[in-house]
Amino acid sequence: MAAALPQILAFDVFGTVVDWHGSILREMAERYPQVDGDAFALAWRKGYQPAMDLVRSGQLGWTRIDALHRRILDGILPQFGLGDMSEAERAELNRVWHRLAPWSDSVAGLARLKSRFVITPLSNGNIALLTYMAKNAGLPWDCVLSAEVFKAYKPDPAAYLGVADVFEVGAASVMLVAAHHSDLAAARQCGLQTAYIQRPLEFGANQPKDVTPQPGNTYHCSSILDLADQLGC
């Protein structure tokens, strides 16, 4: 028996809806062409999970992703010969995460899904970051939900179950849409439906991802437009 359609579609954002690697690569090429932008983007993102682990473990109090991104940035700048970057330049570069470009299918796919479902991000990014990103990229969210709302970074169950609580629905009425198997697995453990989006170039052309289907997802999609097709939008 097929699962009932969800009411709420909650989207992971970094890598699923927006191209963080390509966006940082382009910005570095414009601002600091002497730097290997591919390596810089990967190094910045590599610090993401360890930084959140400091919060999860209690070594840091609740800290927004903007502040964690800045902490990682300050740590990697000397590795790339940018240790003398001014405070103003650092602050501006850190806001590249507010300016990430969507994948080519994202805006049209979200618009189609919005015609039938409530759509919201469920990202570890903070509210301001996600709002400015949506404004810049034209992402048509119905609202902006973030780990900041729940003071819990994914894969904490409080983040996934928090979406159901906000909308006063059961967990099975929420579907997490993501390009990351670990995120989806954690959501399923909380009773959410899941849809996997293939993003083979999330880490750039030099590090293609294995996007082989894994069991458990309600839908497996080549793009957000493909998800809209499968959901009849």
Whether residues 116 and 62 share a domain: the answer is: no
* Domain final residue pick, 66, 98, 130: 98
* Domain final residue pick, 65, 80, 98: 98
What is the strand order of the sheet 118-123 is part of?
Answer: 145-146, 118-123, 8-11, 174-178, 193-197, 219-221
- Give me the pLDDT at residue 2, please: 60
- Give me the pLDDT at residue 43, please: 97
Q: Are 142 and 115 in contact (CB under 8 A)?
A: no
Beta bridge partners of 219: 195
Residues of the chain with pLDDT under 50: 1
Q: Which residue has the tokens 């052309």?
A: 205
CA torsion 51-194-221-210 (nearest 10°) is 40
Whether 211 maps to a domain, the answer reads yes
Whether residues 167 and 221 share a domain: the answer is: yes
What's the domain range around 26? 20-98
* Domain final residue pick, 98, 132, 152: 98
- Give me the pLDDT at residue 213, please: 84
- Give me the pLDDT at residue 94, please: 98
Residues 6+ apart with CB under 8 A from 133: 13, 18, 97, 98, 99, 100, 125, 139
114-146 tens-digit pLDDT: 999 999 999 999 999 999 999 999 999 999 999
Whether residues 85 and 26 share a domain: the answer is: yes
pTM here is: 0.95
Beta bridge partners of 220: 196
Give the CA count within 13 Å in the CB-facing half-sphere of 157: 6
Measured between alpha carbons, how far is residue 105 from residues 18, 25, 75 in Å? Answer: 10, 20, 34
Please tell me the distance from the alpha carbon of residue 22 to that of residue 133, in angstroms, as a whole number. 15
Residue 121 CA, chain-centre distance (Å), reads: 8
Whether residues 74 and 178 share a domain: the answer is: no
For the chain, what is the domain count?
2
Please tell me the distance from the alpha carbon of residue 65 to that of residue 149, in angstroms, as a whole number. 13
Where residue 65 sits, what CATH number does that domain have? 1.10.150.240
Q: Which residue has the tokens 């995120």?
A: 183
Q: Which of 216, 223, 214, 220 is nearest to 190 (CA)?
A: 216
184-201 tens-digit pLDDT: 999 999 999 999 999 999
